[in-house]
Amino acid sequence: MIHPLPSTCERALLERFLKAEAMALWAVRSAQAQDVPPGVLQFLRRHEEEEAQHLKQFEQLLGVRSHHKTVLPRVPSQWWALAVHLYGYETLGLEFAKLLIELRADLISILKDEEVHVGFFEDQVRAILVRGGSAADGARRTAQAWRRRLPGTVDRYLDGESLAPFRDELRRHLLGAVDERFVTVGLLARSEGRDASIVEAEG
């Protein structure tokens, strides 16, 4: 459990969430062009609408306009890899939402939406793993590769003067939260999450 951040961190968290919402919006749009299971496409379309609403809300709060991509980012074409990719980033977004709500309780609807998104992709990942076979093996390999890249992503999000005094604690908290979800759903063995945290601490 992390200690609540001071009000001096509010704008930094809003700015990070604006960036995260923009990235999520682009990723979800790109995901809709892939071959996904029945029912997933409908959820992705609704998800895109919600992310667009969130993005507009954060732009208004900050008085800025986010950069709009003309070329969508590349995402995995195989559903078992794409599901892990989206699940991981949604999990990270949920943890940032929890931090933000400590300072802005009026944004609780954002947290509720993030919980729904994470829950959906968690169910999709769990279904892939339960079926087993090459898709499950591929999902676990994808999770391991994604987790190795995560510290760099977190470090970029935690850059900034107001977050500096809390950066180490926030980093441990965010990485630990993702590890716990990945372990619980069956994407990582507990030793893999623990070993990754040890390597990061030593580095």
**Residue 194 sits in which domain range?**
7-202
Name 15's Cβ contacts closer than 8 Å, sequence gap at least 6.
Answer: 62, 160
CATH code at 103? 1.20.1260
pLDDT in tens, 2-22: 778 999 999 999 988 888 888
What's the token pair of residue 151?
A: 């510290």
Q: What's the mean pLDDT in 90-114?
A: 92
Residue 92's CB: how many other CB atoms inside 10 A?
23
pLDDT in tens, 154-174: 999 998 899 999 999 999 999
Domain count, the chain: 1
What's the token pair of residue 82?
A: 């794409």
Q: Are 62 and 15 in contact (CB under 8 A)?
A: yes
Domain presence at residue 74: yes
Domain presence at residue 1: no
Domain presence at residue 33: yes
Domain presence at residue 30: yes
Domain presence at residue 18: yes
Domain presence at residue 71: yes
Domain presence at residue 2: no
User: What pTM, to 2 d.p., does this model score?
Assistant: 0.89
> How confident is residue 36, by pLDDT bands cut at 50, 70 and 90?
very high
DSSP string, 124-181: HHHHHHHH-HHHHHHHHHHHHHHHHHHHHHHHHHT-STTTGGGHHHHHHHHHHHHHHH
Helix 79-103 × helix 167-185 angle, to 10°: 140
pLDDT in tens, 37-73: 988 999 999 999 998 888 889 889 998 887 666 677 8
